[in-house]
Amino acid sequence: MNTYNVTNINDSGASSLSIDYFDENGIVTSDASTLILEPRTITKNTANYDRGIGAGGTIAITAGPLEPSSELVTVDRFYRYDKGFHFYTADENESNIVQQESEAGNLSYVYEGESFVALNTNLGEAIEGAEPVYRFFNNETGAHLFTMDVNEKDYIIDNLDNYTLEGTAYYAFENEQENIPTMPVFRMLNGNTGSHLLTSDEKEFKYIQENLPHFSVEADNGIAFHVLDL
């Protein structure tokens, strides 16, 4: 995955500035911390973006490595061994508390590592195609459910009193993206615990399908949403 550096070429020489998002017509629409969807070269007049660009100057976009950003969130995965299901969080503070309390013997979680990388709300709302992933808490089982499906979200709210909507966990994509490398996150129902497992590991997904009959595939052939493939 790439982010992009923009060079402003003008009569007095070249200087750097940050550009973020271009709309479908190639028009610069913001210079806040969003993601460029497609590298391209745009002239001053076409871009309609005048920030010190001299006559005949161009905005040249060159690909570069993605730098760590607070707008990308890492989803941590825990296993709750006293209940037999997994817990996921994109909240660093929540992750730290769960780890600390488990090490102290107050909670029964084992940290399994980073599961995948998603977008936070600011970045998710700025990128075309990104949608919120909602987090529900099951008051009966103590497990969480994550869904991007608005129909499923509304059904749960209207019909399942044992679930509490906790809000948007992060942003992801419903489908693969043409200009952003993504990978699927699979969702499966554990029939023994009534909990939902998420994994971006296709080998794990296939192993569970072939060897653990109490798990069933959910969503679109198991794919709940797509996240960044870094």
Residue 187 is predicted with a pLDDT of 98
pLDDT < 70 regions, the chain: 1-70
Does the predicted model carry a pTM greater than 0.75?
no
> For residue 157, what are its two tokens?
């709210």
The average confidence (pLDDT) of the chain is 77
For residue 129, the tally of other CB atoms under 10 A from its CB is: 18
User: Can you name the residues that pair with 16 across neighbouring β-strands?
Assistant: 7
Residues 23-68 have pLDDT tens digits of: 444 444 444 333 332 333 322 222 323 333 333 333 333 333 334 4
Reduce the DSSP state of residue 199 to 3 states and report it. strand
Q: What is the pLDDT of residue 83?
A: 96
Please, are residues 3 and 40 in contact by the beta-carbon 8 Å criterion? no
Calpha distance 146→93 (Å, rounded): 19
Distance (Å) of CA 97 to CA 91, 93, 118, 165? 10, 6, 21, 21
Residue 116 is predicted with a pLDDT of: 97
- pLDDT score recorded for residue 22: 39
